[in-house]
Chain A
Amino acid sequence: MSKPTDLVQGTLDLLLLKIVALEPLHGWAIAERLKQVSGDVLQVSEGSLYPALHKLEQQGWITAKWQVADTGRRAKFYALSRAGRHALEREAANWKRLSAAISRVIRLNEV
Chain B
Amino acid sequence: VRLLRLFYTLPLRMRSLFRRNRVEQDLDDEFRDHLERRIQADIERGMTAEEARYAALRAMGGVEQRKEECREMRGTQLVDEFRQDLRYAWRSLVKSPGFAAVTLVSLALGIGANTAIFTLVNALLMRPLPRVANPEDLVRLSRWSLSYAKFEALQAEQIFANTVAFSRERLSADVNGSIQSADVMLVSGDYFRMLGVNAILGRALTPDDDRSQAAVAVLNYGFWSRAFRADPHVVGKELRVAGVPVTIVGVTPREFAGVVVGTRTDFTMPLTTVTLVRPERPKILTQRSAHWLQVMGRLKPGQTLESTNARFQIVWPRVLAASAPPGTSPTSSFFQEKRELLPGGRGLSELRATYTSPLYVLMGLVALVLFVACANVGNLLLARGEARQRELVVRLATGASRARLVRQLLTENALLATIAGLLAVAFAIWSTQTLVSAISLTRVPVFLDLRPDARVLGFAVAVTLTTVLLFGLAPALRATRIELAPTLKESTRSVTGAGGRLRNTLVVVQIALAMVLAVGAGLFLSSFRQLLSIDTGFDTTNVLMVRADAIRAGHRGPRAIRFYTDLLDRVREQPGVQSAAMSWAPPVSEGFGNSGKVLIEGRAQRPGENLEVFSNFVSPRYFDTIGQRLLAGRDFSADDRAGAPHVAIINRTMARHFFGDESPIGRRIAPWGGDKYDCEIVGVVGDATHFSLKERPYPVMYVPYTQSPEFLQREPMIVYARSTVSLTRIAGDIRRAVKQLDKNVLVETETLQAHIANSVTRERLLASLSSFLGLLSLLLVGIGLHGVMAYSVTRRIPEIGIRMALGARPAAVLSSVLREGALLVLAGVAVGLVAALALSRVVATLLFEVSPRDAGAFAGAVGVMAAVALLATIVPARRAAHVDPTVALRYE
**B70 to A51, Cβ gap below 8 A?**
yes
Taken residue by residue from 17 to 44, chain B's Cβ proximity to chain A (1 for < 8 Å, 0 otherwise) reads as 0000000001001110110011000000
**B33 to A28, Cβ gap below 8 A?**
yes
Distance between Cα atoms of A90 and B261 in the complex (Å): 60
Chain A residues 4-60 with CB under 8 Å of chain B are 26-28, 31, 45-48, 50-52, 54-55, 57-60
Task: Report if B712 contacts A (CB, 8 A).
Answer: no
Task: Report if A82 contacts B (CB, 8 A).
Answer: yes
> Which chain B residues lie closer than 8 Å to A28 at the CB level?
33-34, 37-38
Specify which of B6, B13, B29, B31 is in contact with A50 (CB 8 Å cutoff): B31
Chain B residues 645-680 with CB under 8 Å of chain A are none
Distance between Cα atoms of A57 and B59 in the complex (Å): 23
Taken residue by residue from 66 to 85, chain A's Cβ proximity to chain B (1 for < 8 Å, 0 otherwise) reads as 10000001111000011100
> Which chain A residues lie closer than 8 Å to B397 at the CB level?
none
Specify which of A45, A46, A73 is in contact with B33 (CB 8 Å cutoff): A73
Distance between Cα atoms of A63 and B5 in the complex (Å): 11
**B66 to A83, Cβ gap below 8 A?**
no
> Given A26-B33, A27-B34, are A51 and B9 also a contact pair (CB < 8 Å)?
no
Q: At the interface, is chain B mostly helix, strand, loop or mixed?
A: helix
Distance between Cα atoms of A66 and B27 in the complex (Å): 12
How far apart are A25's CB and chain B's nearest CB, in angstroms?
12
Taken residue by residue from 56 to 74, chain B's Cβ proximity to chain A (1 for < 8 Å, 0 otherwise) reads as 0001111001100110111
Specify which of A26, A47, A74, A83 is in contact with B62 (CB 8 Å cutoff): A47
Task: Report if A97 contacts B (CB, 8 A).
Answer: no
Q: Which of A50, A52, A63, A76: most chain B Cβ within 10 A?
A: A50
Task: Report if A86 contacts B (CB, 8 A).
Answer: yes
Distance between Cα atoms of A76 and B7 in the complex (Å): 20
Specify which of B5, B9, B33, B69 is in contact with A27 (CB 8 Å cutoff): B33
**A81 to B8, Cβ gap below 8 A?**
yes
**B33 to A54, Cβ gap below 8 A?**
no
> Given A27-B30, A27-B33, A86-B1, are A54 and B70 also a contact pair (CB < 8 Å)?
yes
Residue of B nearest to A76 (CB): B30
> Which chain A residues lie closer than 8 Å to B314 at the CB level?
none
Specify which of B6, B12, B31, B66 is in contact with A58 (CB 8 Å cutoff): B12
Distance between Cα atoms of A24 and B746 in the complex (Å): 82
How far apart are A63's CB and chain B's nearest CB, in angstroms?
7
Specify which of A50, A59, A73, A76 is in contact with B5 (CB 8 Å cutoff): A59
**B26 to A76, Cβ gap below 8 A?**
yes
Task: Report if B856 contacts A (CB, 8 A).
Answer: no
Specify which of A51, A63, A76 is in contact with B69 (CB 8 Å cutoff): A51
Distance between Cα atoms of A63 and B13 in the complex (Å): 13
Task: Report if B4 contacts A (CB, 8 A).
Answer: yes
Distance between Cα atoms of A85 and B500 in the complex (Å): 64
> Which chain A residues lie closer than 8 Å to B74 at the CB level?
54, 58
**B38 to A76, Cβ gap below 8 A?**
no
Chain B residue total in the interface (Cβ 8 A)? 29
Taken residue by residue from 358 to 380, chain B's Cβ proximity to chain A (1 for < 8 Å, 0 otherwise) reads as 00000000000000000000000
> Which chain A residues lie closer than 8 Å to B61 at the CB level?
45-47
> Which chain B residues lie closer than 8 Å to A86 at the CB level?
1
**A76 to B9, Cβ gap below 8 A?**
no
> Which chain A residues lie closer than 8 Å to B72 at the CB level?
51
Distance between Cα atoms of A46 and B58 in the complex (Å): 9
Distance between Cα atoms of A66 and B33 in the complex (Å): 12
Distance between Cα atoms of A83 and B7 in the complex (Å): 10
How far apart are A46's CB and chain B's nearest CB, in angstroms?
5
Specify which of B8, B13, B66 is in contact with A51 (CB 8 Å cutoff): B66
**A45 to B59, Cβ gap below 8 A?**
yes
> Given A27-B34, A59-B9, are A47 and B66 also a contact pair (CB < 8 Å)?
yes
How far apart are B79's CB and chain A's nearest CB, in angstroms?
13
**B9 to A54, Cβ gap below 8 A?**
no
Task: Report if B75 contacts A (CB, 8 A).
Answer: yes
> Which chain B residues lie closer than 8 Å to A63 at the CB level?
8
**B30 to A60, Cβ gap below 8 A?**
no
Distance between Cα atoms of A57 and B75 in the complex (Å): 12
Residue of B nearest to A55 (CB): B73
> Which chain A residues lie closer than 8 Å to B30 at the CB level?
27, 50, 76
Specify which of B8, B12, B29, B59 is in contact with A46 (CB 8 Å cutoff): B59
Specify which of A31, A45, A58, A60 is in contact with B4 (CB 8 Å cutoff): A60
Residue of A nearest to B74 (CB): A58
Distance between Cα atoms of A102 and B725 in the complex (Å): 108
How far apart are A1's CB and chain B's nearest CB, in angstroms?
9
**A58 to B9, Cβ gap below 8 A?**
yes
> Which chain A residues lie closer than 8 Å to B8 at the CB level?
60, 63, 81, 83
Residue of B nearest to A63 (CB): B8
Distance between Cα atoms of A55 and B76 in the complex (Å): 12
How far apart are A19's CB and chain B's nearest CB, in angstroms?
15
Residue of A nearest to B38 (CB): A28
> Given A47-B66, A59-B9, are A82 and B4 also a contact pair (CB < 8 Å)?
yes
**B33 to A58, Cβ gap below 8 A?**
no
Distance between Cα atoms of A26 and B26 in the complex (Å): 13
> Given A51-B70, A55-B73, A58-B12, are A83 and B34 also a contact pair (CB < 8 Å)?
no
> Which chain B residues lie closer than 8 Å to A55 at the CB level?
73
26 A–B pairs (Cβ distance < 8 Å), ordered by A: A26-B33, A27-B30, A27-B34, A28-B37, A45-B61, A46-B38, A46-B59, A47-B66, A50-B30, A50-B31, A50-B34, A50-B66, A50-B70, A51-B69, A52-B73, A54-B70, A58-B12, A58-B74, A60-B5, A60-B6, A66-B26, A74-B29, A75-B33, A76-B30, A82-B4, A83-B4
> Which 4 pairs show the lowest CB-CB distances between chains A and B?
A60-B8, A47-B61, A60-B5, A51-B69
Extra contacts, 8 of them, besides A47-B66, A51-B66 (Cβ < 8 A), are A27-B33, A28-B34, A45-B61, A46-B38, A47-B59, A47-B60, A52-B73, A83-B5
